[in-house]
Structure 1
Amino acid sequence: MNFQMSTQDARAGDPRQDPQRLLSMAVNESDIAVIVADERRRIIFANAGCTRMFGYEMHELLGRRPGDVLAGPHTDPSTLAAIQDPALDDRSHSAEMLTYTRDHRPRWVSVAVNPVHDVQGRLCNFVTVLTDITHTKLHEVLQYRVLDAMVREVPMHDLLMLLCREVERIAPEALTSIMTVDEDNRLRPLAAPRMPEAFTQWIDGQPIGPDHGSCGTAAWLNEPVMAADIATDERWNRYREIAGPLGIAACWANPIRSSDGQVMGTFAFYYRTPGEPSVLHRRLVDLSLHLCALILERERTKEHIHQLAFYDTLTSLPNRALLRAKTERALHDAQRTGSPLAVVFVDLDRFKQVNDTYGHTVGDGLLTELARRLQGIARTSDIVGRLSGDEFVVVLPQCGADRAVTAVERLVAAVAKPVAVAGVTLHPGASVGVALFPEDGTDIDTLIRHADMAMYQAKTQERGGFRFFSAELNRAAHERAMLETDLRAALGAGGGLQLHYQPQVASTDGLLQGVEALLRWNHPTLGAVPPLRLVALAEECGLIRQLGQWVLDRACREMAGWRRRGVRVPHVAVNLSASNFLDTALPEFIGQLLERHGLAPVDLTVEMTEGVMLNPDPLVLATVQAVHALGVQVSLDDFGTGYSSLSHLHRLPIRELKLDKSFVQDIEHDEMARALTVSVLRIGKSLGMTVVAEGVETEAQRHFVAGEGCPVMQGYLISRPVPADELEAWIEERSAAAEPLPA
């Protein structure tokens, strides 16, 4: 009771407790805008909150309709019509609407319209309450919708289009654009739903950089760029002619940054009239940039996972799994359309030597460059993949035999160009095999296997070439098995194996300086087996050690026979393979041979290829040094054809260099060959080594190498390789005729 009395007293004596005053204060101090209109919807009152929200003073509102005052160029007409519909005069209704302030700034509001009736039930007023929902619109609507779509795994393009449309719904006076920056630092449009298509197409592929419009400059500087008036902004000089006719007058671009601060793309607002972004637009962009970054980083993560699963990490080519899937689709299309298809198997020659000599960094660089070259010559429809190591597969849809020849020739030529990796210049080559659909197989496994077989044939016959698979290859596989059996028998009984000898003579007087032993195999049914094929066969079936020992024994035996018969042969040279020098028993075997045949160490020269010199295995170096320690001369064959041989000359006790015949044969018409020949001669002279020019076939070649001071030569001009008895007759005939080679 006392409380009631004190309250009444307070109301009576304290004007601060006046209910009318309190109500007026509550209405005016609220952040909510309250507008009271008469029955004709003409404003008769607006609270102070309305002034703060929209900037209008009371006298500017009186007598006007709320919709006429607050609507703007992008207010939705249907929403405005709904809240003013006379049919709703008898009940309350609400809506969300884009309104505009006195200074034309957009503001999203929630509008609630409540009709007021007098005691007789007649409509007398409308009370409109407007609540600013801009912040809610930005976060609860925009962010919720986009994040919800991300959770549902909506594709990136659809996500970005959704984001742009939601932004443009909130700020319809702006046109949005989202672009990414590709690995070549060029802009690529991702989403621009309301932008003129001509502008989007034109900007696609434009570089980023200073003075490249708002987006290109923002991406270049990694900071926002505002062009309030494109007509006068110098950064738009090269783009103004395309933007102006399309009605683009201003642009505000912001970089989309990854979590580590790197630029992934740009988010831009374009305007039809000059001007700068409003506060609402700035808040929209802040939120949109965050969402764009989430979307683009998620896409990059997905792409990275896909890359790891289906692409080779070194070369970025499709790996075995993706290559198989793509090829199976191509085969399905070929079967459906009846079109041909070629499968090309590519194997890099001497790749192990590169890795062993220069390390895996150089080897990886070589593989990466090879992959780039294969992609560079491939058509859009071609499939290029890496199987493993130095093995690649190229699938050529709609490609028959004739077109495949042209394609493979281009491929081989592209691979053979010099490669500079980590300061090392390499001269690569590849052996290539081709299998055709449907002739050589109708499924991927068969075609790759047959292309591999064809590649193997190319490698054994001539490195750097190519072969097509055929039924003959199957026969060749059976033939190889037969050859292995026959070679084992020949090494045991000597059947068909023999040595031919090619003389080496002095360039000055033509006197015999020595002979080179060359292996020949006359197979009883196949006839002459090429030496390269014979050596490759021995390597593959594990007979190279026995073959090397057979050649050494036969050469020493025939040299001993010449000594007994007084035939003047200064020494015999025997070429051994790299595998022979991995045999630590080789020096002891040579020592026993010399002793058994009564020969001096100077009677024998051991030739090795550059592959031996480049082999990093310490066993090779120890074996060569042990052979040299016997007093046997060591010669380097085919000098100049391998990888940077000069830098390895000091590793081994070499006393003779053999200038490769490819240089000699080009002397007459190739200035580079002449220069290289002179260089090798000078290298040999400066190192105290004898240089032997191989492959001298013409007088011009002989005259050049002799004139440049080459001490020894061999080739068809002097004599073809001949059997031991014919060599002996050749020596006796020249000796009797006293016909030294003219100087």
Structure 2
Amino acid sequence: MSASQVGQPFGQSSDAAKALFSAFEHAVDAVVITGLGSEIRHFNSAAERLWGFGRDEVVGRNVNILVPEDVRANLDGVVAIKAALPAAAPVKGRREFRLQRKDGTEAWGAFSISRVDYGGKSLYINFVRDVTDEVKDREKNALMALVAEKTDRVVVVMDRDSHIIYVNKAFTDLFGYSLAEAIGKHPQHLLTGEYTDYEAITRFHASIDADGHGHEELLTYDKDGEAIWISTTVNADRGANGEVKCLIAVLVDITESKQIHSLQHLTLENLANDMPVLDVINDLCARVEAIAPDVVCSVLHVDVDGLLHPLGGKSLPPGFAEAIDGLLLGPEVGCCGAAAFSGEAVLSIDIATDPKWQAYNKLPLQAGLRACWSTPIKAKDGRVIGALGFYFRESKAPTRWHQTIVQNCVNLCALVIERHEARSEIARLAYFDALTGLPNRAQLHRIMTRQIDASGPHGRIAVMFLDIDHFKDVNDTLGHSVGDDLLVSVTQRLCKQIRPADTISRQGGDEFVVVLPNCNVEDAAAIANRLLESLMPPIQLGSKAVPVSASIGVSMYPDNADDIDGLLKHADAAMYQAKLAGRSTYRFFSADMNRITEERLAFSTALRNAIMQGACACTTSPSCELMEVSMAPRLWRVGRTPFSAMSRRQNSFRLPKNTVSSR
């Protein structure tokens, strides 16, 4: 083909052909005319712009140079199909092909092909429209649609007026509304309910209007009216002129994290407010049951002896807490006892048939509880200090939501119980005797104060001062460790003889105080007799049977004194009268005892002053009053003055656990 014919497929043609050629030349779309052999016969200006080739570079060459190599086979197949058609058969069609530009870059073109016959020859006219941007947009949109449909995040697209134009599958799964049900609706009308915070929604929209984006945590409701907390992020898509084209919202279900946060906040706030442990745990259980309505929650404490004690669970059947209080944990003691025993979670799908529940299933079954799942509560050092129980009204295993709650609750419960144990230990050290576990002096003072305040004008309280006879001999002959064992055994015997409302306190050494509220003289005498009789049998300490007895003094409120110090002093004085009476007996305080005590105190004081000052110049005179000094050892053997009693109490804070002076 001559140079004058390049781009002129019809050769030396008529004016009509020239007009058609001119139209092709000025067409917006690329026009590529090929012959039956796929050679290029015409390449218009738009084609030159699309491919970057000049027409003189492509006319006469095979059309497949205009597409990438991996597409050429497909293009050759299309050409072959067209060539095989009868000459009279019309050839039409539209396809999209990747194009290969002169600079090696790729584009997309939409081909519209027509076959024409001219001068006995068949030609193919290919109209090619540049659809590169459309294809890219389509691919992007397809990718975005795929992502939107496959993501577990809720995607909502709204128009500029916030009416829904698209929701993905995650939206339907979460809220229950299909795309058809959601389109055209305003989210505020579709997803709000009784407790939605409309002020937060107003603030949210104001942020979007001002900044083009916004973030908020909102309480929404699904199609069935169930509350769902969501974290919502909205961004505005603006056009070139700045106007909002659409709003794109991404929603995340934060119901679980929100509820767990609420549970944690409630418990920590209660701890900060110094609420009693039972109230803290009961509030925790109530909150758990609010966020998991199919659960009845309970918490048990495991003490140092391995005994179970209910801390919380107001929804448990009546009497259930009392029935399990004090049970020794073990593999067959329900789920909580077994979990605390093994240190692992224990599940009973059917309480009625599970052997672990055989002795304890009556009350839960009567209350409609069919299954139980218990998880041990462990301290920081790994000790099992409790058990968290979830009871179900159906025979089923815990769900993922239940597991999430428990993972958080066991940590909260551990914090509460460890704090409770720490405070109990502090209280024990401050108010209880380390050897016997009995209330100490400070705790006794608090108890007596409460009982005197509560006794009223006609109340009667008996106060006993009990001292073990010859206890120093045990320490001196058998050792202090045996003496400690003896004190523990005496404590155990005494505790069995008193009433539930009575109190026994160890004052130090071998001294005990017993306080009996609502007790008259006759009752006090009967209890004193029981205490003495309980000590009559010897106490077996190792290979030795140690005899033991005690002397008891009794004072009565308000007859002998109306204050604590007076009651204790008078009971102490009466106890020494019991010593003088031969020990292993009791005496009630009388006014004469007080007079004798005062006389002894005055005599003892004068005697000591005389000794310290060396005031006597006639120590050899038989008539000297201070010859009574020789009586001092006898006074210490027969009894002691209030001065000596006071001195010994003061010294008891510096002596070993059971150290006492001679009696």
Tell me, yes or no, whether TM beats 0.5: yes
State whether residues 535 and 548 of structure 2, in contact with CA within 8 Å, keep that contact through their aligned partners in structure 1: yes
Matches within 5 A, 1:223-234: 223-234=344-355
CA RMSD of aligned residues (A): 4.5
| Alpha-carbon distance between aligned partners in 1 of 2:596 and 2:293, rounded to the nearest angstrom | 75
Matching residue within 517, 529, 535 for 1:409: 529
Question: Secondary structure of the residue that 1:136 maps to in structure 2?
Answer: helix
1:270 partnered with 2:391: yes
Q: 2:331 aligns with which of 207, 210, 213?
A: 210
- Of 546, 563, 575, which aligns to 1:443? 563
- 1:154 paired to 2:275: yes
* Bigger shift: residues 311-320 or 176-185: 176-185
- Give SS of 1:317's match: coil
| TM-score of the aligned structures, taking structure 1 as reference length | 0.54
Partner of 1:331: 452
- Aligned counterpart, 1:418: 538
Deviation at 1:436, TM superposition (A): 1.8
User: Aligned partners of 1:98 and 1:422: how far apart in 2?
Assistant: 73
Alignment match, 1:637: none
Tell me the residue number matched to 1:245. Answer: 366
Q: Out of 310, 315, 326, which is 2:431 matched to?
A: 310
Q: Secondary structure at the match of 2:485?
A: helix
Partner SS, residue 449 of structure 1: helix
Matches of 1:100 and 1:221 in 2, distance apart? 45
Aligned-pair CA distance for 1:440: 2.0
- 2:219 aligns with 96
Tell me the distance in 2 between the aligned counterparts of 1:424 and 1:304.
34
Change (3 A) 1:535 1:461: farther
Amino acid at match of 1:445: D
The equivalent of 1:351 in structure 2 is 471
The structural deviation recorded for 1:25 is 4.7
Q: Report the TM-score, using the length of structure 2 for normalisation.
A: 0.60
Secondary structure, counterpart of 1:413 in structure 2: helix
Q: Say if 2:632 is the partner of 1:537.
A: no
Q: 1:467 aligned to 2:590?
A: no
Counterpart of 1:360 in structure 2 is 480
- In structure 1, stretches of 5+ residues that fail to align are 1-5, 67-77, 117-124, 495-532, 543-743
Distance 1:310 1:321 in 2: 6
Name the residue aligned to 1:388.
508
The answer (yes or no) to whether the contact 1:366–1:421 under 8 Å persists in 2 is yes
Quick one: which of 318, 329, 341 aligns to 1:197? 318
Quote the Cα distance in structure 2 between the aligned partners of 1:286 and 1:99: 27
Give the secondary structure class of the aligned counterpart of 2:375.
strand
Distance in 2 separating the partners of 1:84 and 1:355? 75
Match of residue 434, structure 1, among 554, 558, 564: 554
Contact 2:217–2:229 (CA under 8 A) maintained in structure 1: no
> What secondary structure does 1:217 align onto?
helix
The equivalent position to 1:375 in structure 2, one of 495, 498, 507, is: 495
State the alpha-carbon separation in 2 of the partners of residues 236 and 33 from structure 1: 45
1:249-648 aligned within 5 A: 249-334=370-455, 336-477=456-597, 536-537=634-635, 539=637
Distance 1:79 1:434, change over 3 A: farther
Distance 1:458 1:540, change over 3 A: closer
Deviation of 1:97 after TM superposition, in Å, equals 5.8
Checking the alignment, whether the CA contact within 8 Å between 1:256 and 1:267 is kept in structure 2 is yes
* Aligned AA (2:364): A
Q: Provide Cα deviations, 1:11-40, integer angstroms capped at 9, x if missing partner.
A: 9369456553454255335441236799xx
Q: Secondary structure at the match of 1:259?
A: coil
Q: Distance in 1 between matches of 2:483 and 2:426?
A: 26
SS at match of 2:496: helix
Matched, 1:163 2:261: no
Instruction: Give the secondary-structure state (helix, strand or coil) at the position aligned to 1:157.
Output: helix
1:97/1:109 contact within 8 Å kept:
yes
> C-alpha displacement at 1:170, in angstroms?
2.6
- Amino acid in structure 1 at the alignment position of 2:533: A
How do 1:110-189 and structure 2 match up within 5 A?
110=230, 130-134=251-255, 136-137=257-258, 139-182=260-303, 185-189=306-310
Per the alignment, in what secondary structure is the counterpart of residue 404 of structure 1? Answer: helix
Describe the shift of the 1:97–1:355 C-alpha distance in structure 2 as closer, same or farther (beyond 3 A). Answer: farther
Distance in 2 of aligned mates of 1:353 and 1:321:
29
Matched residue of 1:431: which SS?
strand
Q: Tell me how far 1:168 sits from its aligned partner.
A: 2.5
Asked if the contact 1:253–1:269 (Cα under 8 Å) also holds between the matched residues in 2, the reply is: yes
Distance in structure 2 (CA, Å) of the matches to 1:214 and 1:99: 36
Higher percent of residues as helix: 1
Contact 1:79 1:95 in 2 (8 A): no
In structure 1, distance between residues paired with 2:581 and 2:410: 62
Alpha-carbon separation, structure 2, partners of 1:349 and 1:453: 15
CA deviation profile, 1:531-569 (whole Å, cap 9, x unmatched): xx9985374699xxxxxxxxxxxxxxxxxxxxxxxxxxx
Aligned amino acid, residue 407 of structure 1: I
Return the index of the structure with the highest Cα Rg.
2
> In the TM superposition, what is the alpha-carbon distance from 1:298 to its structure 2 partner?
0.4
Where 1:332 maps in the other structure, the secondary structure is helix
Deviation, 1:183, is 5.3
Alignment of 1:38-49 (within 5 A): 46-47=167-168, 49=170
Tell me if structure 2 keeps the 8 A contact 1:142–1:163: yes
Q: Aligned equivalents of 1:109 and 1:332: distance in 2?
A: 53
Q: Distance in 2 between matches of 1:34 and 1:395?
A: 73
Question: Is the 1:107–1:132 contact (alpha carbons within 8 Å) kept by the matching residues of 2?
Answer: no
Cα distance in 1 between the residues matched to 2:321 and 2:192: 32
Provide Cα deviations, 1:341-379, integer angstroms capped at 9, x if missing partner. Answer: 221111111111111222221111111222222222221
> Which amino acid letter does the alignment assign opposite residue 330 of structure 1?
Q
Identical-pair percentage: 34
Aligned residue number for residue 719 of structure 1? none
Amino acid at match of 1:537: L
Instruction: Give 1:326 shift.
Output: 1.5
